[in-house]
A and B are shown apart, each in its own frame.
Chain A
Amino acid sequence: MQVNEQFTPTIVAFCCNWCSYAGADLSGTNRLQYPANVKIIRVPCSCRVNPMFILRAFQRGADGVIICGCHPGDCHYTTGNYYARRRTTLLFSMLDYLGIERNRTRVEWVSAAEGAKFAATMNDFVAQITELGPNRRLEDLRCRK
């Protein structure tokens, strides 16, 4: 049994290649710290994030999932982030219904110029998940090591 004080959450961040992944790179270039338990997966666009990926992450033991894309209106593919926004709104309310707290999921718009915002967002999100504690609701115990 994990003790809550030493709990370090596993967080999966899906970042779009054009804005948020570049924003994450920028926070690195500027040496802006954020916790090491955030792991970034690069996707071409936030609209590439299939709700299945989010469910899978929770099943496999992720404690929080964040999706980052270009600001509305700035999508490299014109409309991709609008699709992401609608899909995630629906999915998050469904997850909420299933008992996955709303705060375990988040969508954030981070541009390629917002390295500071990326780091701040990740710090905030990690703090939020740490407070929530481990995800037990959807975790598939068969997947546990």
Chain B
Amino acid sequence: MQRIGVFVCHCGTNIAGTVDVKAVAEALGREPSVVTSVDYQYMCSESGQNLIKDAIRDYKLTGVVVCSCSPRMHENTFRKAAAAAGLNPYMVEIANIREQCSWIHKDVAEATEKAIILGRAAIAKVQLNAPLVAGESPVIKRALVIGGGIAGIQTALDIADAGFEVDIVEKQPTIGGKMTQLDKTFPTLDCAACILTPKMVECAQNELINIYSYSEVDAVSGFVGNFSVKIRKKARYVDETKCTGCGLCTEKCPQKKVPNEFNLGMDNRRAVYIPFAQAVPKVATIDADYCTMLKTGKCGVCSKVCTAGAINYKQTDEIVERQYGAIVVATGFNPIKVDKYDEYAYGQSKDVITSLEFERLTNAAGPTSGKLLRPSDGKHPHKIVFIQCVGSRCTPEKGKSYCSKICCMYTAKHAMLTREKYPDTEVYVFYIDVRTPGKNFDEFYRRATEEYGVHYIKGMVGKVSPKADGTLEVQASDLIMNEQLRIDADLVVLAAAIEPDKSARPLATMLTASMDTNDFFTEAHPKLRPVESPTAGIFLSGACQGPKDIPETVSQAGAAAAKVIGLLAKNKLTCNPCVAHSDELLCNGCSQCANVCPYGAITYIEKEFVMPDRSKKIRRVASVNPAVCQGCGACTVTCPSGAMDLHGFSNRQIMAEVDAICK
């Protein structure tokens, strides 16, 4: 015989204001198997909880129903109270009579009647509750960081600092990401390489950090605390352990006509290359698309000049399988392709460039050794037009609907640096709005306009037309002066919108992490859990979650690392016990449940059954891994034989609720 205790909360006047709580307690007290039914001012307070604990002991309760606020609020509080009094915590049910009753109704009689019905449904359900024990799963004390840009580097360093192993997987031959291509960084104008390369070296030297460069994640399985990841180490045709990074092969390689992606194709590199001087790891890579030896079998110059004997033309992709407790996504961003905007003539004229290309042109390690020269004729430009919001804040057909966040500031930086180095150059910036909401950002922008005399013009550029004399005619409207402008510019720089890296979407599928419509990873809660993905054990760092500048990326990277450290510091994780389970006697091994399971939690086992005639028979039956199952219940509905059921939300429990409500 069940012995149920009912506890009705007043929640001050929140509930008692509209619901006659005494009447509810009295009505529910008359339900069969209810042995005690009381009301109290604040059930969640310590004395309220003591009331529950005492009743559990005094009446030897087998189940507790609390009529109070939403279970999302205090279910855990009451479960803990029950556990403290020796009752299994999963023998507690909440009837939500605040958010879903007293707060939404005004009529006392109506609200009271509804509260009684909700109470009855909870009583009906709790009688079918089964005591559950939360399982535990071990935590593998190693983290994986996917992406080796500033976000990934900072996360890895912070995790390693706490004494945990970290692997970085980077698809490029070197870590460093976009920041390595930048010249100076706003608003302090310190040089990007000077602040980034020490961190890259730190990663390489840290014993706890393991860098998989030129590698990609191939497959992910498992769950929080116990992920298994397949990493594809792409063939670089150079033995990483032997290569000393001397660079001799990159000087001798006869294939000189390979567009250099580090300089965005503005100059060429060899088929065997080291992306830049400070690359980490400093190891050469052979580009199989251009290498004559790999394509035709005739060359082998690099192999001849390599004194370390590191060149290996027969190298193939290698798959490494590693286990991790947590995964951090730091896949970063890319500027969008701007050739689709015909009006800006990118692709028609070499002198229309993107901001990242401008960045390379002003960088001392760039194609012009830091001299600002027009790509078409190598002459110094005297009039530069910067166009903001190219593809940002657009209609979905034209580009991205969001603000790319960093463009206003880097354009102010470009304009300022240009005016500082070349005071004879006139600089125009066309903008929709100038957005500078960061520490020292607006001061920076004002310096550009006030001290450096950059012409900021509110208005969008309608057309850029290359003219016969090599200049670019920029037609634009000045919205403040309300006039049409024509500027003959020598160089036009487009502030292209940024978008998540292309690798993000397939990765999200592998990780079962969710994404928004723009392919940015979504956070578990936009305000309160900004660095966690809704999928347990997956964390977000940097621009893969949304457009971010460097200071913001670094702080988010640190926050993600702190969350990872918090997870890895635990020896065991408590699992949700409300998971699916299969009745082996009913299961016929049809595989339908496994097909709908989004987590791969269901496997099949061969099990021996003793038949009624005492003969033995081996049958294939479903088996649920409770550590992997998240308890969605998809399998329970799919199962044609009714073998699958869900703890905490069983078929009988929900049916009982339906019955109680429809009575």
B634 at the interface (CB under 8 A from A): yes
Residues of A within 8 A of B103 (CB): 28-29, 31
Contact of B598 among A37, A42, A78, A143 (CB under 8 A): A78
Contact B657 A41 (CB under 8 A): yes
Residues of B within 8 A of A27 (CB): 99, 104
Contact of B662 among A28, A60, A80 (CB under 8 A): A60
A7-61 residues at the B interface, CB under 8 angstroms: 10, 12, 17, 21-22, 24-29, 31-34, 36-37, 39-45, 47-53, 56-57, 60-61
Contacts A33-B106, A145-B663 given: A39-B121 contact, CB under 8 Å?
yes
Contact A57 B662 (CB under 8 A): yes
Contact of B114 among A28, A39, A47 (CB under 8 A): A39
Residues of B within 8 A of A48 (CB): 632-634, 636-637, 646, 649, 654
Contact B104 A21 (CB under 8 A): no
Contacts A12-B662, A61-B662 given: A80-B98 contact, CB under 8 Å?
no
B81-111 residues at the A interface, CB under 8 angstroms: 96, 98-101, 103-107, 110-111
A87 at the interface (CB under 8 A from B): yes
Contact A78 B514 (CB under 8 A): yes
B113 at the interface (CB under 8 A from A): yes
Contact B654 A45 (CB under 8 A): no
A79 at the interface (CB under 8 A from B): yes
Contact A12 B661 (CB under 8 A): yes
Contacts A48-B649, A49-B637, A76-B534 given: A39-B113 contact, CB under 8 Å?
no
The distance in angstroms between the C-alpha atoms of A51 and B661, with both chains bound, is: 17
B596 at the interface (CB under 8 A from A): yes
Contact B100 A28 (CB under 8 A): yes
Q: Give the size category of B's interface with A.
A: 35 or more
B646 (CB) vs chain A CBs: closest residue: A48
Contacts A25-B70, A80-B598, A83-B637 given: A41-B663 contact, CB under 8 Å?
no
Contact B99 A77 (CB under 8 A): no
Contact A36 B634 (CB under 8 A): no
Residues of A within 8 A of B114 (CB): 36-37, 39
> How far apart are A38's CB and chain B's nearest CB, in angstroms?
9
Contact B632 A77 (CB under 8 A): yes
Residues of A within 8 A of B654 (CB): 41, 43, 48, 50, 53
A78 (CB) vs chain B CBs: closest residue: B598
**Interface majority SS (helix, strand, loop, mixed), chain B:** helix
A74 at the interface (CB under 8 A from B): yes
A128-140 vs B, Cβ < 8 Å mask (1 yes, 0 no): 0000000000000
Contact B99 A53 (CB under 8 A): no
Residues of A within 8 A of B99 (CB): 24-29
A62 (CB) vs chain B CBs: closest residue: B662
A119 at the interface (CB under 8 A from B): yes
The distance in angstroms between the C-alpha atoms of A6 and B105, with both chains bound, is: 19
Contact B661 A39 (CB under 8 A): yes
B109 (CB) vs chain A CBs: closest residue: A36
Contact A40 B96 (CB under 8 A): yes
Contact B105 A36 (CB under 8 A): yes
Residues of B within 8 A of A53 (CB): 654-655, 658
Q: Which of B99, B106, B630, B651 has the most CB of A within 10 A?
A: B99
Residues of A within 8 A of B356 (CB): none
B530-545 residues at the A interface, CB under 8 angstroms: 534
B466 at the interface (CB under 8 A from A): no
> How far apart are B659's CB and chain A's nearest CB, in angstroms?
6
The distance in angstroms between the C-alpha atoms of A53 and B578, with both chains bound, is: 19
Contact A47 B104 (CB under 8 A): no
The distance in angstroms between the C-alpha atoms of A39 and B99, with both chains bound, is: 12
Contacts A50-B637, A79-B598 given: A44-B104 contact, CB under 8 Å?
no
Contact of B71 among A42, A45, A51, A143 (CB under 8 A): A42
Contacts A56-B659, A79-B598 given: A33-B633 contact, CB under 8 Å?
no
B32-76 vs A, Cβ < 8 Å mask (1 yes, 0 no): 000000000000000000000000000000000000001110000
> How far apart are A50's CB and chain B's nearest CB, in angstroms?
5
Contacts A41-B657, A48-B632 given: A28-B98 contact, CB under 8 Å?
yes
Residue tally, chain A, CB below 8 Å to B: 48
> How far apart are B488's CB and chain A's nearest CB, in angstroms?
48
> How far apart are A44's CB and chain B's nearest CB, in angstroms?
5
Residues of B within 8 A of A77 (CB): 598, 630, 632, 634
Contact B655 A56 (CB under 8 A): yes
Contact A10 B633 (CB under 8 A): no
Residues of A within 8 A of B658 (CB): 12, 41, 53, 56-57, 60, 62
Residues of A within 8 A of B98 (CB): 28
Contact B100 A40 (CB under 8 A): yes
> How far apart are A80's CB and chain B's nearest CB, in angstroms?
5
Contact B104 A119 (CB under 8 A): yes
Residues of B within 8 A of A145 (CB): 663
B459 at the interface (CB under 8 A from A): no
Q: Which of B104, B110, B113, B657 has the most CB of A within 10 A?
A: B104
A17 (CB) vs chain B CBs: closest residue: B72
The distance in angstroms between the C-alpha atoms of A50 and B633, with both chains bound, is: 9
The distance in angstroms between the C-alpha atoms of A8 and B121, with both chains bound, is: 19
B118 at the interface (CB under 8 A from A): yes
Contact B634 A25 (CB under 8 A): no
Contacts A28-B103, A57-B658 given: A44-B632 contact, CB under 8 Å?
yes
Contact A36 B633 (CB under 8 A): no
Residues of A within 8 A of B661 (CB): 10, 12, 39, 41, 57, 62
Contact A25 B578 (CB under 8 A): no
Contact B104 A31 (CB under 8 A): yes
Contact of A47 among B107, B534, B634 (CB under 8 A): B634
B512 at the interface (CB under 8 A from A): yes
B302 at the interface (CB under 8 A from A): no
Q: Which of A42, A53, A57 has the most CB of B within 10 A?
A: A42
B631 at the interface (CB under 8 A from A): yes
> How far apart are A100's CB and chain B's nearest CB, in angstroms?
15
B243 at the interface (CB under 8 A from A): no
Contact of A34 among B70, B72, B104, B598 (CB under 8 A): B104
Contact A47 B111 (CB under 8 A): no
The distance in angstroms between the C-alpha atoms of A39 and B71, with both chains bound, is: 15
The distance in angstroms between the C-alpha atoms of A25 and B68, with both chains bound, is: 12
Residues of B within 8 A of A80 (CB): 598, 632-634
Residues of B within 8 A of A49 (CB): 637
Contact B110 A45 (CB under 8 A): no
B615-663 residues at the A interface, CB under 8 angstroms: 630-634, 636-638, 646, 649, 651, 654-655, 657-659, 661-663
The distance in angstroms between the C-alpha atoms of A17 and B596, with both chains bound, is: 19
A-B contact pairs, 13 of them (CB 8 A): A12-B661, A25-B99, A31-B104, A40-B96, A45-B632, A48-B632, A49-B637, A51-B637, A56-B655, A78-B512, A83-B634, A119-B104, A145-B663
15 further interface pairs, Cβ-Cβ under 8 Å (given A25-B100, A27-B104): A12-B658, A25-B96, A36-B114, A41-B121, A41-B654, A43-B654, A44-B578, A44-B631, A48-B636, A48-B649, A53-B654, A57-B662, A74-B514, A78-B512, A80-B598
- Residues on B lying within 8 angstroms of A by beta carbon are 70-72, 96, 98-101, 103-107, 110-111, 113-114, 117-118, 121, 512, 514, 534, 578, 596, 598, 630-634, 636-638, 646, 649, 651, 654-655, 657-659, 661-663
